Structures are given as structure tokens and as C-alpha cells.
């Protein structure tokens, strides 16, 4: 059979996904639309297929990965056998030839290329699909063949095998294509938003810095910022930042390196007026093509503008948009909002304003609420429909409803006022309409609803990272949908308390492996959702009075003041046999490929605590020089010993202001009698924080906050001024914090140039 091993981007269309994968198809579509995509080709999915079939390794390969995935040794063995088979088998001559011929047709002699895997199973979440993350930059010559083979092998990492097994996808039904694209050796690059990312106003916002775009996207440089009115074409504002570094390709090694920018270029405006206008126009063409505002990564090389990537902006708050208006098909609409989850359903209204009203919801009822929360998920599963007053398409209600396949209308404004408890209504989750009365087929006759996935979140344009706090893994999806840069605090204790047993009781009843699996599952839900964004997992920190309420709680010590008692790292270090399982769970996640997991220790007081905790990590086999780990700053003692802790090799320090405030002011955080004295902005607390940030900056230790105060605008402003590396906020505060960070950063920039 004649096989066309490669296809050029210009010959690819959007519906070629089966042959060239999602990434390949979208690059092809953009090339076809005349957008300046760097030239390239795709090694098709059929080529991968023909490689494993023609060389006869297919049967052995699929047999090798057919293992019990909960058995980590077997899983590791499977992945390594698959890799061996794919990398150890020579690529047939005709495939090699075709790839190298296409490569030779690229511009220049032995040009540098980027090699990326492109999954064909689009119903698998991007981050989870094997190999989607595999990207090799600056590849040259015959090395390309090796990278293509590696991209194929990435279909069988431990994580990919595990995920497919969990989701019930057959290993032999998933293919992989590989995109090979000319590298753009950018002189300048950045991102642009074709509309204002939160208001949707017709304004192009461009961020630009010297060198490769990674510096802007990763937030390691403060970029210039340009605002252009799309109607008048006027450049409304230009903010020139001090650009301290740039990322460039090292001439000798071909690798991407960061170097410091010296002299005038630091403060020189990156974009010329002509380039600004060219970028605005390109943005408009992308937006026209996709018919929705876009977040575009661009680069300029030798005066030519390239478009590297584009995706829809998902943070525009469109709850008031006219699109939601519908005409009644039958009865009159009594309410309208956004159709967040498709399907038509009828039922009785249950108005929920407080969590303890959830019992009211019976099978088939329609929940009407200001906004859903993760605690409402069990009731949402019983409901036949959901209406919220607030929220947009990526709100908790919208995402969870879509996942559960329950029709939902969100952002209706006054639903809890307009509707009455017990009233029978019909909702249309496609068009966002609510009518009086029942006029739908019974639930059993409803058409199955296609699963929708939340869209990729847009990156907030701030140098300070904005992350999110999570306590219950069920909230992961909602948290990820905020566009947060990662998880700044994932509390482990809730995963345990969810079982209603103390750790010791759980292990006695079910064994250590089950305990460890409980932790692995909880963390994995979040790590998967956020991958490759970092997820900072905190080891157990529950006071004994909380454990006492659980099964096995009678064996817990009874303490006069649990807040000052047996909790956090002091307990973990005293009970290594329990602590060890938490660390082993994290180690197992690393083995599964979740290299985005970070480890954080609560309530440390000094370098001695840090040393002992680090020894525990090493003793379970976690290499602390390779993994990100750090501590919470929750006691004045930890502030006063931060230099010594930094010397122990911590990568980060995160302010737990709930405790730091309590221990600095001697105010019990749980005692409402003194709640008026619980002030996280107290000068004493702020001084401790400021000192820590300053010293950490000197020692190259990242700083963050994960206490409640990180969601308060005044605190955010203070922290950004002090130079904190990241802020972790509550899910619902992420957006406001992103804006507050942006505002503060811009003001600092302006102050520095005025």
C-alpha cells in the first residue's frame, strides 16, 4: 500500500484530525486561513500505525501494556517495555526517507525544528492524552527521526497507560501524529488578546518582550504593554517595562538559555508603531476566522510576524450578553440566562440558599440557587436541572452540570426571586431559557448529552503568578477553570476526613495500601486537572479536635489548646509510620508521571524541622534536589529562622496567614469573641511577611501566600509591592486577585518610569 507518511500544513484542513491530530489540524486550518503560521508538516497517525504494524511490534506492544495499573511495579515495567519496543525498533526506510525529504524542503540548510506530538483522540483531555505534552525544541538533522520515535513512545508513559485504563480507552484504538515545524528564532515576541480579557471591549492588548516568547508566557519577564482601540485604531497606551532578561537560543548548543539584558535595551520599547498595527491586524484575522475573541502567542523574526498559537479567551464575562435571549418555543419564557449544559427538562423548583437546604432536593427536581458549590455536587447528581443566578460558562454550576449531563441555565440574575418553591418549570439548557409548566419527554427519554469539556483557561497577564487553593478534590475542575497558574495549597487532611476515619483507624481497618491509594486518588484528581501547572500538596495538618470527631477519634489526645498542640509537621515527625504513607503516595504520583506535584510542610518552626522533614522525603526515595518542596510560614519563629531554612534547600516558603496572624497577635482564629482582633493586615504581621520576602529573594527562594488573606485586595497590593512570587487565592477570588495584581504591577511600572 502506498503510504503518505507526511502531510504539509498547507494541505491540512480542520476535519483531518483523525490523520494529523488536534494540534496538526488546527495549525493546518490556520495556515489555510492565510495566517502566518511557521511552515511545517505532520507525520501522520497512519505512519505511526504502519510503523508498529509493518515492523510487527504491535501485538507485543499492546500485550505489554495490558497490565493491572494499580500495581505500580507492573505499570512501570509496562511503560519501559513499550518504550524499549518503540525506540529499539528501526524506522522502516521509506518512512525515514519521506520525513527527511520533507525536512530538506524546509527553508534553510539543516534548519532547527520543533517536534510535537498531536493526539488523534480528541475526546481525551489534552493534558491527559499521551504525549500531548511532548515537545522537543531546536532539533536539527537526523535527530529529527529519533524525536519522532520518542513522540510515538510518549503514547505509552505510565501516566498515559494508567489514564486510558481508568477511562476505558483501548490502547490499540489510540493513535498519534507528530507535528514538525520550523523554529522561529524570535527577536521579539509575546501574547495578544484580540478583545479585553475581562470586559470583552473591542481593544487589542499586546504584551511584548525581547527574545523567545517563553519569557512572557512563563511570567519571568515584565513585558511592555500596549492597548489599541480596534475601532479608531488609536494606540491608547504604551507602557514600557524594564526587561531584565531574555530567552534566546544558544548559538553553540542550540538550547534555550536565559540571559540578562544590559544597557539601553532594558528600557527600550520593544514594538514599533508599524509592528503594533500589524499585530492588531493579525489578531483580527484570527478572531474573524474563529468568530470569537482569541488569546494569541506571536513572534517576530527578521521583521516577519508569526503566529505560534491561538485559543479562545474564556474569561470574558458574557452573562449579560444578548445571545442568551431566546424566544419561547411554546409557552412564554419567564427567565433567561446562558445555556450552560444542553438538554430540555421539566421538574419542580427547589430554591437553595443554604447548604443545609440540600435535603429538599429529590430525584428529578430542579435546583435554583445563587451559585452552586462543590458541596452541592451530590444534590446536583439527583437533580434533573440546575438554574443559577450568577456565573458564566466556566462557573462551577456550568462545568459540573456539563460533566453530570444535567441541563443547566446559569447567570439568570434573579431566579431565586422570580421562581417559587414547588413551581413546575421547563428549562432549555441549550438556549438558556426557562418556561412555566411541564412540556418535555420524561427524563428516561432524554437524548444522551454529549460530554463537553471546559475550555483551556487563558493565562492571566501578570508577572506575579496567581494560583488557587483547593481543599476538596471535586473542586479541581472548577479551580482549573479560573485560569489560575496552579494550585498554591492542596490540603491533604480533607481527603482523609472525607473517609470519616482518622488515619490510624483507616489503616487499621483497610490497610496501609488503601490509605495511600486514598491520598493518591485525591491528589491525582487535582494534579491531572492542572497538569502541567504545579500543584502544591501540603502534608497532613489537622488539629486533634477535628480528628476527634471522626471514627477512631477517641484515641486522639484530648488537648487544652489544639491550635497550639499536636498538629502539622510536629505530629508528622513524631509519627513517621503514618507520615511515610503520605510521602509514599506522592512518590507514587511522580512514578505515574505527575511531575507537577510539589510538597509543602505545615507549621515548621526552624531549620531542624526542615532538616528532619527533608530526611523523611529522602528516606522514601524522593530526590529533594529534583523535586520542588518547601514550607509554610505560619509562626514568628519560622520568620526569624528563614535564612537557616533557606540554607537547607527549600524551594519555596508560603505564608499561612491564618495561623501566622493567630500566632503573632495571640488571637485564636476560631474564637468569635476576639474575631474583631484577628487582623491579617496588622503592621506586626506585615512586617514579618515583608522580612521573609526580602530574605527569600536574596536566597532565591520563591515566596507565596495561601492563607485567606491572599484573597484580600489590600494584602495583594502589599505583597506585590514587596515582590512576592505568587499569590494563591480562593477559587472565587482568583479573578479579582488577577486584576488586583495586574493593577498593582502596572502602577509600580508607571511609578518607576515617571
Kindly state whether residue 352 participates in binding ligand PEP, applying the rule CB under 6 A: no
Closest CA to 652 of 479, 486, 532, 471: 486
Which residues are CB-neighbours of 117 under 8 A, at least 6 positions away? Answer: 21, 23, 130, 131, 132, 133, 134, 135, 151, 152, 154, 155, 176, 177, 178, 179
* CB neighbour class for 663 (10 Å; exposed up to 12, middle 13-18, buried from 19): buried
Q: Active site includes 682?
A: no
The residue annotated as part of the active site, out of 196, 289, 396, 682, is: 396
d(CA 12, CA 464): 39
Q: Name beta bridge partners: 367.
A: 350, 386
d(CA 372, CA 363): 17
Among 256, 499, 658, 730, binds ligand PEP (CB under 6 A): 658
Kindly state whether residue 656 participates in binding ligand PEP, applying the rule CB under 6 A: yes
Q: Among the candidate windows 76-84, 319-327, 348-356, 650-658, which touches ligand PEP by CB under 6 A?
A: 650-658
Q: Choose between 46 and 493: whose C-beta lies nearer to ligand PEP.
A: 493
Q: Among the candidate windows 75-83, 146-154, 177-185, 655-663, which touches ligand PEP by CB under 6 A?
A: 655-663
Q: If DSSP codes are grouped into helix, strand and coil, which group holds residue 208?
A: strand
Question: Which one of ligand PEP, Mg ion, none is in contact with 491 (Cβ closer than 5 to 8 A by kind)?
Answer: ligand PEP
Peptide bond into 323 cis (omega under 30): no
Q: Choose between 339 and 710: whose C-beta lies nearer to ligand PEP.
A: 710
Among 295, 474, 634, 740, binds ligand PEP (CB under 6 A): 634
Kindly state whether residue 544 participates in binding ligand PEP, applying the rule CB under 6 A: no
The residue annotated as part of the active site, out of 171, 581, 588, 706, is: 706
Q: Among the candidate windows 333-341, 637-645, 651-659, 714-722, which touches ligand PEP by CB under 6 A?
A: 651-659
Among 287, 609, 659, 745, binds ligand PEP (CB under 6 A): 659
Among 224, 287, 598, 659, binds Mg ion (CB under 5 A): 659
Q: Choose between 160 and 631: whose C-beta lies nearer to Mg ion.
A: 631
Angle at alpha carbon of residue 581, lines to 579 and 583, rounded to 5°:
75
- Give the DSSP H/E element, type plus range, for residue 34: none
Kindly state whether residue 657 participates in binding ligand PEP, applying the rule CB under 6 A: yes
Residue count at the site for ligand PEP (CB under 6 A)? 10
DSSP state of 141: T
At closest approach, how far in Å is the CB of 571 from Mg ion?
Answer: 13
Among 706, 715, 727, 729, binds ligand PEP (CB under 6 A): 706
Contact positions with ligand PEP (CB under 6 A) in 468-497? 489, 491
Q: Choose between 505 and 571: whose C-beta lies nearer to Mg ion.
A: 571
**What does the CA dihedral 123, 213, 535, 524 come to, rounded to 10 degrees?**
20
Closest CA to 295 of 170, 369, 206, 221: 206
Q: Among the candidate windows 273-281, 294-302, 658-666, 715-723, which touches Mg ion by CB under 5 A?
A: 658-666
DSSP string, 610-669: HHHHHHHHHHTT--TTTS-EEEEE-SHHHHHTHHHHHHTT-SEEEE-HHHHHHHHHT--T
DSSP string, 11-41: G--GGGHHHHHHHHHHHHHHHHTT--PPPEE
Among 343, 656, 690, 710, binds Mg ion (CB under 5 A): 656
Q: Active site includes 696?
A: no
Q: Among the candidate windows 412-420, 472-480, 649-657, 725-733, which touches Mg ion by CB under 5 A?
A: 649-657
Catalytic residue IDs: 396, 706
Enumerate binding residues for ligand PEP (CB under 6 A).
489, 491, 541, 634, 656-659, 706-707
Enumerate binding residues for Mg ion (CB under 5 A).
656, 659
Amino acid at each position: 500500500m502506498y503510504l503518505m507518511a507526511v502531510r504539509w500544513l498547507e494541505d491540512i484542513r480542520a476535519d483531518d484530525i483523525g490523520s494529523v491530530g488536534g494540534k496538526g489540524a488546527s495549525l493546518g486550518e490556520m495556515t489555510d486561513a492565510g495566517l502566518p503560521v511557521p511552515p511545517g508538516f505532520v507525520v501522520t497517525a497512519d505512519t505511526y500505525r504502519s510503523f508498529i504494524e509493518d515492523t510487527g511490534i504491535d501485538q507485543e506492544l499492546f500485550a505489554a501494556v495490558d497490565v493491572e495499573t494499580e500495581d505500580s511495579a507492573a505499570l512501570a515495567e509496562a511503560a519501559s517495555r513499550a518504550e524499549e519496543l518503540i525506540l529499539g525498533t528501526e524506522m522502516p526506510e521509506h518512512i525515514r526517507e519521506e520525513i527527511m525529504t520533507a525536512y530538506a524542503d524546509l527553508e534553510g540548510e539543516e534548519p532547527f525544528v520543533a517536534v510535537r506530538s498531536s493526539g488523534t483522540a480528541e475526546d481525551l483531555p489534552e493534558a491527559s492524552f499521551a504525549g500531548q505534552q511532548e515537545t522537543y525544541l531546536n532539533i536539527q538533522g537526523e535527530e529529527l527521526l529519533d524525536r519522532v520515535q520518542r513522540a510515538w513512545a510518549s503514547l505509552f508513559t505510565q501516566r498515559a497507560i494508567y489514564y486510558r485504563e481508568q477511562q476505558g480507552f483501548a490502547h490499540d484504538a489510540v493513535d498519534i501524529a507528530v507535528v514538525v515545524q520550523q523554529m522561529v528564532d524570535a527577536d521579539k515576541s509575546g501574547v495578544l488578546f484580540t478583545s479585553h480579557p475581562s470586559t470583552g471591549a473591542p481593544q487589542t492588548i499586546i504584551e511584548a518582550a525581547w527574545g523567545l516568547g517563553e519569557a512572557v508566557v512563563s511570567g519571568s519577564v515584565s513585558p511592555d504593554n500596549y492597548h489599541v482601540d480596534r475601532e479608531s485604531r488609536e494606540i491608547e497606551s504604551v507602557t514600557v517595562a524594564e526587561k531584565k532578561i531574555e530567552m534566546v537560543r544558544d548559538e553553540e548548543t542550540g538550547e534555550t538559555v536565559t540571559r540578562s539584558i544590559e544597557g539601553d535595551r532594558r528600557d527600550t520599547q520593544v514594538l514599533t508603531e508599524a509592528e503594533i498595527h500589524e499585530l492588531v491586524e493579525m489578531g483580527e484575522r484570527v478572531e474573524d476566522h474563529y468568530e470569537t475573541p482569541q488569546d494569541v502567542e506571536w513572534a517576530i523574526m527578521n521583521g516577519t510576524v508569526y503566529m505560534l498559537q491561538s485559543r479562545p479567551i474564556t474569561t470574558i464575562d458574557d452573562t449579560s450578553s444578548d445571545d442568551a435571549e431566546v424566544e419561547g418555543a411554546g409557552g412564554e419564557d419567564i427567565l433567561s440566562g446562558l445555556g450552560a449544559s444542553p438538554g430540555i427538562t421539566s421538574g419542580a423548583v427547589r430554591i437553595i440558599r443554604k447548604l443545609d437546604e440540600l435535603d429538599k432536593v429529590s430525584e428529578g427536581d430542579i435546583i435554583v440557587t445563587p451559585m452552586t458549590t462543590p458541596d452541592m455536587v451530590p444534590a446536583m447528581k439527583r437533580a434533573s436541572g440546575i438554574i443559577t443566578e450568577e456565573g458564566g460558562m466556566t462557573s462551577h454550576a456550568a462545568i459540573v452540570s456539563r460533566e453530570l449531563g444535567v441541563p443547566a441555565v446559569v447567570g439568570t440574575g434573579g431566579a431565586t426571586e422570580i421562581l417559587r418553591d414547588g413551581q413546575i418549570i421547563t428549562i432549555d439548557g441549550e438556549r438558556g431559557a426557562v418556561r412555566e409548566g411541564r412540556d418535555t419527554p420524561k427524563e428516561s427519554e432524554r437524548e444522551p448529552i454529549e460530554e463537553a469539556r471546559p475550555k483551556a483557561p487563558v493565562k492571566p497577564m501578570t508577572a506575579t503568578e496567581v494560583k488557587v487553593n483547593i481543599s476538596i478534590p471535586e473542586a479541581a475542575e472548577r479551580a482549573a477553570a479560573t485560569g489560575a497558574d496552579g494550585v498554591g495549597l492542596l490540603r491533604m487532611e480533607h481527603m482523609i476526613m472525607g473517609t470519616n476515619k482518622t488515619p490510624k483507624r483507616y489503616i487499621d481497618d483497610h490497610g496501609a495500601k488503601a490509605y495511600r491509594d486514598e491520598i493518591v486518588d485525591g491528589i491525582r484528581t487535582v494534579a491531572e486537572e492542572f497538569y502541567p501547572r504545579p500543584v502544591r500538596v501540603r502534608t497532613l495538618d489537622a488539629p486533634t479536635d477535628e480528628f476527634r470527631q471522626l471514627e477512631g477519634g477517641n484515641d486522639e489526645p484530648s488537648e487544652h489548646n489544639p491550635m497550639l498542640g499536636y498538629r502539622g509537621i510536629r505530629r508528622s515527625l513524631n509519627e513517621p509510620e503514618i507520615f511515610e504513607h503520605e510521602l509514599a503516595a506522592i512518590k507514587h504520583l511522580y512514578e505515574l508521571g505527575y511531575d507537577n506535584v510539589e510538597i509543602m510542610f505545615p507549621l515548621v518552626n526552624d531549620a531542624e524541622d526542615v532538616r528532619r522533614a527533608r530526611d523523611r522525603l529522602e528516606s522514601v526515595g524522593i530526590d529533594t534536589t529534583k523535586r520542588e518542596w518547601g514550607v509554610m510560614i505560619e509562626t514568628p519563629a519560622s520568620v526569624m529562622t528563614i535564612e537557616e531554612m533557606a540554607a537547607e534547600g527549600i524551594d519555596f516558603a508560603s505564608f499561612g496567614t491564618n495561623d501566622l496572624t493567630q500566632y503573632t497577635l495571640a488571637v485564636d482564629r476560631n474564637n468569635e469573641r476576639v474575631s474583631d482582633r484577628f487582623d491579617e493586615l496588622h503592621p506586626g504581621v506585615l512586617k514579618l511577611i515583608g522580612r521573609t520576602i526580602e530574605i527569600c529573594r536574596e536566597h532565591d527562594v520563591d515566596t507565596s501566600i495561601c492563607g485567606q488573606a491572599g484573597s484580600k485586595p489590600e494584602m495583594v497590593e502589599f505583597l506585590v509591592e514587596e515582590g512576592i512570587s505568587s499569590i494563591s487565592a480562593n477559587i472565587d477570588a482568583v479573578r479579582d486577585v488577577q486584576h488586583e495584581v495586574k493593577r498593582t504591577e502596572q502602577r509600580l511600572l508607571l511609578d518607576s518610569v515617571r
